Amino acid sequence: MDALLEVQGLQTEFATRSGVVRAVDGVDLVLHKGETLGVVGESGCGKSVTSMSIMGLLPKGVSRIAGGDIRFKGKSMLSLPASELRKIRGNQISMIFQEPMTSLNPVFKIGSQIAEAIRFHMKLGKTEAWSRAVDMLKKVGIPRPEQIAMEYPHQLSGGMRQRVMIAMAMSCNPEVLIADEPTTALDVTIQAQILDLIRELQAERGTAVLLITHDLGVVAETCQRVVVMYAGQVVEETDVKSLFRNPKHPYTKGLLGSLPQLAGEEQHRLEPIPGSVPNPADMPKGCRFAPRCAFRTEACDSVQPQLVEIEAGHKCRCLLVEEGTR
């Protein structure tokens, strides 16, 4: 499979009152043509910061990419001038943000916002771009697309706004689509519709999807491979079936154990992960999950585990798994 997008040892830092905080620390990702890769983890693990780093949308002045590389089709995006990056962003690589109300401009009509991106990247005239914008609204299942194109974001429901974001992201036929929590704050029925829509467009256009979520149910239904993140690092990576059948990292097991499910006729008892996520400004010296881990040993408090391949295509960051003692 051809690697479209490669994130290699990414390190992203923020300047805070407590000093410099590394929100993403050595993350590696590979997204292949036509596949869906899930990135999973609880809030604050670095999922969204990773996606913003890829898109070059980090807030200026308070953040920077301190190390690593981001490569698209073999070419480093970090070395590109801003003008070249703008040609890729929104054209070859598009993004759906988790809150469309803050991503859409409230003072411009829906059709105008979609047409603007089309005109910039596809060099179409105003009339052609507007026609394509309306056509994209129709493709994402929005009724009365001609009328909706003339309306403003606040006039639409949350599900409709999310469909508009998908229409905008897919309007230029991107090769990579980054979907950052695309179903957040939507009810279950609308969530299913949005995920089905993304799958349909992906199948139609062969787009590779990087799906960022905290919902393992969404991952099970949508993704082929999955990366689990904790405290700014990748702690496990494998195919989806292996993750659910044979998770290796204690954090992954904790995530799966906290999911509601039915075991025969009796309801499975939820097992929450004890403790809380470490402060990014004061990370543990050893394994970052050690303070919350039921399998913790003395070595876990002082030795930082590395992400190693323990089986074909299955990577894990855990001393005990690496040593084969658990």
Q: Residue 5: what pLDDT?
A: 96
State the Cα–Cα distance between residues 215 and 195, nearest whole angstrom.
12
Two structure tokens written together for 94 = 């598009």
**In order of start, what are the domains of the chain with their CATH numbers?**
3-92+174-261+269-323 (3.40.50.300)
Note down pLDDT in tens along the chain; length 326 residues. Answer: 578 999 999 999 999 888 899 999 999 999 999 999 999 998 889 999 999 999 999 998 899 999 999 999 999 999 999 889 988 998 999 999 877 777 899 999 999 999 998 998 998 999 999 999 999 999 888 999 999 999 999 999 988 998 899 899 988 889 999 999 888 767 888 888 888 888 888 888 889 999 999 888 889 989 999 999 999 999 999 999 999 999 999 999 999 887 776 555 455 677 788 888 898 888 999 999 999 999 999 999 999 999 999 989 999 999 988 776 55
State the Cα–Cα distance between residues 303 and 189, nearest whole angstrom.
45
Q: Residue 38: what pLDDT?
A: 96
Q: Bridge partners of 229?
A: 234
The bridge status of strand 36-40 relative to strand 225-230 is parallel
Please report, for residues 266, 286, 304, 312, the alpha-carbon distance to residue 319 in angstroms, rounded to integers and kept in the order given.
35, 10, 8, 18
Name the residue with tokens 């070595």: 299
State the Cα–Cα distance between residues 93 and 13, nearest whole angstrom.
23
Two structure tokens written together for 209 = 């999807």
309 and 317 Cβ atoms separated by less than 8 Å: no
Quick check: helix, strand or coil at residue 98? coil
Two structure tokens written together for 19 = 């000093």
Report the candidate in 66, 50, 108 with the shortest Cα–Cα distance to residue 227.
Answer: 50
Q: Residue 232: what pLDDT?
A: 95
State the Cα–Cα distance between residues 275 and 42, nearest whole angstrom.
13
Quick check: helix, strand or coil at residue 142? coil
State the Cα–Cα distance between residues 20 and 17, nearest whole angstrom.
8
Rounded to 10°, the helix 110-122/158-170 angle is: 10
253 and 318 Cβ atoms separated by less than 8 Å: no
Q: Residue 267: what pLDDT?
A: 59
E strand spans, the chain: 3-16, 19-32, 36-40, 63-72, 75-76, 93-96, 176-180, 208-213, 225-230, 233-239, 262-263, 266-267, 308-311, 314-316
Q: Residue 266: what pLDDT?
A: 54
Two structure tokens written together for 219 = 């991952």
Residue 170: CB atoms within 10 Å: 23
E strand spans, 45-90: 63-72, 75-76
Two structure tokens written together for 285 = 């010296």
Q: Residue 270: what pLDDT?
A: 74
Q: What is the DSSP string of 208-258?
A: EEEEEES-HHHHHHH-SEEEEEETTEEEEEEEHHHHHHS--SHHHHHHHHT
237 and 314 Cβ atoms separated by less than 8 Å: yes
Four-residue CA torsion sign, 221, 276, 23, 90: positive
Q: Bridge partners of 211?
A: 38, 179
Q: Residue 187: what pLDDT?
A: 80
Q: Residue 263: what pLDDT?
A: 56
E strand spans, 75-223: 75-76, 93-96, 176-180, 208-213
